[in-house]
Amino acid sequence: MAKVAVVLSGCGVYDGAEINEAVLTLLSLEQQGATYQCFAPDREQMHVINHLTGEPVAGETRNALVEAARIARGDIKALSALNPGEFDALLVPGGFGAAKNLCDFAVAGDQMSVQDDFLSVARGFHQANKPIGLICIAPVMAAAICGAGAQCTIGNDTEVAAAIDAMGAQHLQCPVTEARVDVGNKLVTTPAYMLAGSVSEAYAGISDCVKEVLALS
């Protein structure tokens, strides 16, 4: 039975992990016979967004680990405790938290940098030849993790696809219900809410992503 590390980036599509994507990832893992442990960085998230208005909340701060614990029902550990040697694969749901709290793509675009703690963990999986699944916007980190030429998808967003190519990865078109597999890098990606218009559409692609990750583990 595969044991998978799931890295969350807060709680909420605009400033943390996309909740539907996170839950569907955990559901798919259970349905496909894997076990998992959730992790998140123990630091303040970039900012707090009012999810009713879409506007930043002045003067409010939240901790990404504390917020992600809402999704994991408290069963979560700090990212610093994640040892790739104890797991068979890594999965990273999307949401703007992936582009704000795991890296700074949301503000820096193709000049982004990945947070050192997450990059060290993700590269640890890659260097150990263990599969990695990146969901939604998370594939913008593909080249940083797997190196130049890594193949990934965010669906068909031309601007983000161009940024991915500029950073040294190769973007692949992909419908919402599917995933794309870079066999050489053991990297699996799916668009999820980069394209999804419903929970069921997101589920189809995420389930396929999980299936492919587990097949490579």
Q: Where are the beta strands (DSSP E) in the chain?
A: 3-7, 35-40, 76-78, 89-92, 132-135, 151-155, 170-173, 180-182, 187-190
The pair phi, psi for residue 188, each rounded to 5°, is -125, 135
Based on its alpha-carbon atoms, the radius of gyration of the chain, rounded to whole angstroms, reads 15
Distance CA 38, CA 10 (A): 11
Active site residue 38: no
Whether 126 and 132 have beta carbons less than 8 Å apart is answered as yes
Of these residues, 136, 146, 174, 209, which one is catalytic? 136
Active site residues: 136
